[in-house]
Amino acid sequence: MRRRRNRRSTSRTRSAGQRSALARAFGCARVVYNDALRARETARSEGLPFPKTGDLSKSLITEAKRRPERAWLGEVSAVVLQQSLRDLDTAYRNFFDGLKGKRPRMGTPRYKSRKDTRQSVRFTANARWSITPGQKLRLPKIGDVKVKWSRTLPAVPSTVTVVKDSACRYFASFVVETGPEEVLPEVVPELGIDLGLGHFAVLSDGTKVDSPRFLRRAEKRLKKAQRNLSRKEKGSRNRNKARLKVARAHAKVTDARREFHHQLSTRLIRENQAVAVEDLAVKGLARTRLAKSVHDAGWSAFVTMLEYKAARYGRTFVKIGRFEPTSQVCSQCGVKDGPKPLHVRVWTCRGCGAVLDRDINAAVNVAKAAGLAVPACGAQVRPGLVPAPRSEAGTHPTPQPSTAR
């Protein structure tokens, strides 16, 4: 089996000519994307059949180049334009999958703007791009771009994506085919994961994982930069400076978050033979809008990593639908004792008397629903660590040593 993998390398383009050639490529890719989106939305509103990618490629790329108002499309690699149409296909597929409940719901694909912070173009093998003997990236109709390599590529890459981020940094990421030699030796533990609100993730072995300090610090700096920006007068030069600062801080947060997701997902996949999570599309329905917007982006990126790393390293990955509300069922004895308000973090099971931690109980239930073998005792709160449930707090102001009943 062969797998695809992204390798990310930083590149800084030195030449202004290359920068404007890249800007042209970003622009043309965006125009083709928007033209195709308009064609499809028009067809949809008029009740006509959904235009096929092949037909759009003909009318919006090949034929459009012959018209004076789109002639400049010929100045960039045609592959870049075709890949842009494929990106739109992906956006529609995600949208339709969301309608079917296969993934979190999202809106229809939206038009791209020149002002979007992230611009990208993709060159496949058809584009005849290459890496020169001098380790530069040779891109058709752009030139030999200097690259600061973050690591060596393990094999010949098939595709390169060039991204310009909101902080005006350029990145090149490569798709490389790798062999099956990465399958890890088998291990015993199996794991359920609850993606919670209080913690980033709670594991069925009782571990609660919070985002690391480097990420929290980056987030704090971003908030400060955003506050600073909101105080600046519109149109002033200081506001522009502050805006770039926000963009940089934002890029740092994104990088730090991705790094955290990578570290955690790699560790969990290495240490466990099987990993189970709840389907986010199902989970998301139970949450408030705010909580969703804060967490979902991070979670789905993290879950995607778990999934592809499990495949790469020969581990089992299971996504379960919520057929049983995980916080309503005791993970020890299976008694279902009804919904509990969010502030109830710990409770005593009426069936078996176990003192349960809400998040860990949920993680154990996720693992069980996925058919994994996890020790259930993890969900029990250790004696001595039991915080008094809110309803009971204060009812026994001076606990008496119970020597007699």
Task: Give dist(CA 11, CA 162) in Å, integer.
Answer: 9
359 tagged catalytic: yes
337 tagged catalytic: no
| Beta carbon of residue 368, minimum distance to Zn ion (angstroms, whole number) | 13
Nearer to Zn ion, 77 or 327 (CB): 327
| Beta carbon of residue 352, minimum distance to Zn ion (angstroms, whole number) | 3
> Which one is catalytic: 35, 205, 357, 359?
359
User: Which residues in this chain contact Zn ion in the complex, by CB under 5 A?
Assistant: 330, 332-333, 335, 349, 351-352, 354
Nearer to Zn ion, 37 or 354 (CB): 354
Nearest to 281 by CA among 95, 96, 98: 98
> Which one is catalytic: 165, 194, 205, 357?
194
> Which one is catalytic: 35, 190, 205, 278?
278
Nearer to Zn ion, 33 or 347 (CB): 347
| Beta carbon of residue 379, minimum distance to Zn ion (angstroms, whole number) | 10
Task: Give dist(CA 309, CA 269) in Å, integer.
Answer: 7
Sign, Cα dihedral of 113, 118, 119, 120: negative
| Beta carbon of residue 381, minimum distance to Zn ion (angstroms, whole number) | 13
Nearer to Zn ion, 51 or 334 (CB): 334
Nearer to Zn ion, 154 or 375 (CB): 375
278 tagged catalytic: yes
| Beta carbon of residue 378, minimum distance to Zn ion (angstroms, whole number) | 14
Provide the annotated active-site residues.
194, 278, 359
